[in-house]
Amino acid sequence: MSVIPSMAQTIPAALAESVRRYGERIAIDDDGLQLTYAELQQRARETGCALLALGVQPGERVAIWAPNGQRWIVAALGCLLAGAVLVPLSTRLKGAEAADILRRSGARLLFSVGEFLGSYYPALLEGHELPQLEQCVVLEQARPGDSDWEGFLVCAAEVNAQQLEQRSAALDGDSLCDLIFTSGTTGYPKGVLCAHGQNVRLFDNWGQIVGLEAGDRYLIVNPFFHTFGFKAGWLAALLRGATILPQRTFEAEAVLARIEHDRVNFLPGPPALYASMLDHPGRQRFDLSSLRVAVTGAASVPPVLVQRMQDELGFAHVVTAYGLTECCGLATICRPGDDLQRVATTSGRALDGIELRCVDGEGREVPCGEPGEVLIRGYNLMRGYLDDPEATAEALDGDGWLHTGDIGVLDEQGYLRVTDRLKDMYIVGGFNCYPAEVERLLMEHPAIAQVAVVGMPDERLGEVGKAYVILRPGAELAQAQLIAWCREQMANYKVPRSVEFVSELPLTASGKVTKAALRATA
């Protein structure tokens, strides 16, 4: 039986139900600040009223560009209470990348961190035209002259709380909730639109399956700008009455220390997170006995890693999952009690209300055990790509199936094993990396004539990029110089870890680069 009643079709309604059930429980424990569920709702309402005072209308976009923290959640909930659509931005983005998403989403207001990772984030947008962005509210460490969080909240007094209640009550399960940009094979991010009802239903179900319980202490290392940290993270925790422990960045020793200090029960993350914890030389100094559940995915999981997570980190349950932004981030999951081999070699089976098929090049379903393209159908599929009907029609066919481009194998029990990436995509420490996007950015370097990027195995991150570069005539460029340039131009996970300068690239008869040949050579 679902924890969330059927009438809770929106995140504001689900939050109200959680307040009714868990009002005095701690919802967020963030660096010494504790908020009960009732206090969280009150702060979210104050944020929503301030947004109404600034004229934010239903369906308008509000962006958040900040690391994990309590104000991220408060701002997001305030946005959703006001009927706006949430646009999360990766903290890994450079100014030009963030500005592109802000322009294309039409975001009217941006909540931004101030100083973080050596940069003042609002300053990264200087020089970029953002005609629809009316205000940037700096959540913390605002510089003089910039709009700060406290000043923003003063506006809330101008709005009657009943106006916010009416705005929230006008939402239903089909109302748009979030717009998350995911890169594609064209090299440009595509905006994925999802609705309230599907998110609430999907991640309440996820929480039931993985055993997320009221009172659990959930350390969320996965970034809130990603579906893993947002939907399977703080949203699932709120639906189930757990306590959210936001972690701003991943550093193995800091995470180990928090597990001991905060008695963490629940710790999802990509395989790289657990590998780093296992390999930390001081791991034995920390008491990890509180750990109970790990949920992983986003890359292949070696059976030995699952075994070590149980034996050395003490997890009672380790489960794996599979999904894409285009299906709200989730389609399949293993169940607690599945054997080690199944957990390590599959991504589980479909959740209730979701169908899977594997098909050949003609669209015919292949037999169990045979590889084919993974198709997904169900209530969890996106409402479409923002302003891109052609791409939407290519991804979603007339029968309601999402064509993932992933190659997988289904067994007789419906468990899915993904055998190949979405075309040439590779995954760096849990982040999807698309060669076409990296190549597009690399081609802006004045010394580069042609470039091809492929993913290569990496012991720590799972996969990393390698760039094959043809220089322009007379140009000179060293590997270190190019990598340093990349770090200035793109998010860190996109930066190739190695570069090989070549005189030509392997091509097909139609003139396309043969990525398989490059991977084989490497």
Q: Is pLDDT above 90 for 306?
A: no
Average pLDDT over residues 317-324: 93
426's CB contacts (< 8 A; 6+ apart) are 433, 435, 454, 455, 456, 463, 464, 465
Q: Which residue has the higher pLDDT, 251 or 386?
A: 386
Q: Is pLDDT above 80 for 140?
A: yes
pLDDT band of residue 3 (cuts 50, 70, 90) is: very low
| Residues constituting the chain | 522
At 406 the pLDDT is 86
Q: Is pLDDT above 80 for 515?
A: yes
Residue whose C-alpha is closest to residue 193's, from 185, 203, 181, 201: 181
Q: Contact 380/202 with Cβ under 8 angstroms? A: yes
Walk across the sheet containing 402-410 and list its strands. Answer: 354-359, 372-378, 402-410, 416-420
Any idea which of 273-282, 312-321, 427-436 has the lowest mean pLDDT?
A: 427-436
Spatial separation of the C-alpha atoms in residues 127 and 215, rounded to whole Å:
46
35's CB contacts (< 8 A; 6+ apart) are 26, 27, 28, 43, 70
Q: Is residue 427 part of a domain?
A: no
Q: Is residue 516 part of a domain?
A: yes
Listing DSSP states for 280-320 in one string gives -TTGGGS--TT--EEEEESS---HHHHHHHHHTS--SEEEE
Measure the CA angle with vertex 30, ends 159 and 431; round to 5°.
Answer: 100
At 449 the pLDDT is 82
User: Which sign does the torsion angle of CA 484, 489, 493, 498 carry?
Assistant: negative
Spatial separation of the C-alpha atoms in residues 94 and 117, rounded to whole Å:
12
pLDDT band of residue 420 (cuts 50, 70, 90) is: low
Domain boundary among the residues 197, 226, 260 is at: 197
Q: Is residue 86 part of a domain?
A: yes
Structural domain containing residue 477:
433-521
Q: Which residue has the higher pLDDT, 75 or 426?
A: 75
Q: Is residue 486 part of a domain?
A: yes
Average pLDDT over residues 367-383: 95
Q: How many helices (H) and strands (E) does the chain have?
A: 17, 27
User: Cα Rg for the chain, rounded, in angstroms?
Assistant: 23
Domain boundary among the residues 166, 197, 228 is at: 197
Walk across the sheet containing 332-333 and list its strands. Answer: 293-297, 317-322, 332-333, 349-350
Helices (H), 339-474: 340-345, 389-395, 435-442
Q: Is residue 192 part of a domain?
A: yes
Q: Contact 308/279 with Cβ under 8 angstroms? A: no
Crossing angle (nearest 10°) for helices 252-262 and 271-279: 90
Q: Is residue 80 part of a domain?
A: yes
3-state SS class at 17: helix
Average pLDDT over residues 170-177: 98
Domain boundary among the residues 197, 212, 228 is at: 197
What mean pLDDT, rounded, does the chain reach? 92
- Number of other CB atoms surrounding residue 155 within 10 Å: 16
Q: Contact 109/87 with Cβ under 8 angstroms? A: no
| Predicted model pTM | 0.85
Q: Are strands 26-30 and 33-36 parallel, antiparallel or unpaired?
A: antiparallel
At 399 the pLDDT is 97
| 71's tokens | 């104000």
Q: How many independent structural domains does the chain possess?
A: 2
pLDDT digits (tens, 9 = 90+) for 463-485: 999 999 999 889 999 999 999 99
185's CB contacts (< 8 A; 6+ apart) are 422, 423, 424, 425, 434, 436
Q: Is residue 256 part of a domain?
A: no
Q: Contact 24/36 with Cβ under 8 angstroms? A: yes
Residue whose C-alpha is closest to residue 95's, from 80, 77, 79, 112: 112
Q: Contact 218/265 with Cβ under 8 angstroms? A: yes
Any idea which of 295-309, 324-338, 426-440, 492-506 has the lowest mean pLDDT?
A: 295-309
Q: Is pLDDT above 90 for 441?
A: no
Q: Which of 79-88, 436-445, 450-459 has the highest mean pLDDT?
A: 79-88
Q: Are strands 119-120 and 85-88 parallel, antiparallel or unpaired?
A: unpaired
> Partners of 340 in the beta sheet?
none
Query: How much of the chain exceeds pLDDT 70, in percent?
Result: 95
Query: How much of the chain exceeds pLDDT 90, in percent?
Result: 75
Residue whose C-alpha is closest to residue 61's, from 179, 190, 225: 179
* CATH number of the domain encompassing residue 512: 3.30.300.30
| 209's tokens | 């399956």
pLDDT digits (tens, 9 = 90+) for 223-240: 999 999 999 999 999 999
Any idea which of 23-27, 118-122, 242-246, 345-349 has the lowest mean pLDDT?
A: 345-349
Q: Is residue 82 part of a domain?
A: yes
Q: Which residue has the higher pLDDT, 460 or 366?
A: 366
Q: How far is CA 28 from CA 35, 49, 86, 246, 465, in A?
A: 5, 21, 20, 8, 36
pLDDT digits (tens, 9 = 90+) for 177-217: 999 998 644 557 899 999 999 999 999 999 999 999 999 99
Any idea which of 321-335, 360-374, 409-423 has the lowest mean pLDDT?
A: 409-423
At 7 the pLDDT is 60
Crossing angle (nearest 10°) for helices 70-81 and 11-22: 120
Crossing angle (nearest 10°) for helices 11-22 and 37-53: 150
Q: Is pLDDT above 50 for 294?
A: yes
Q: Contact 321/347 with Cβ under 8 angstroms? A: yes
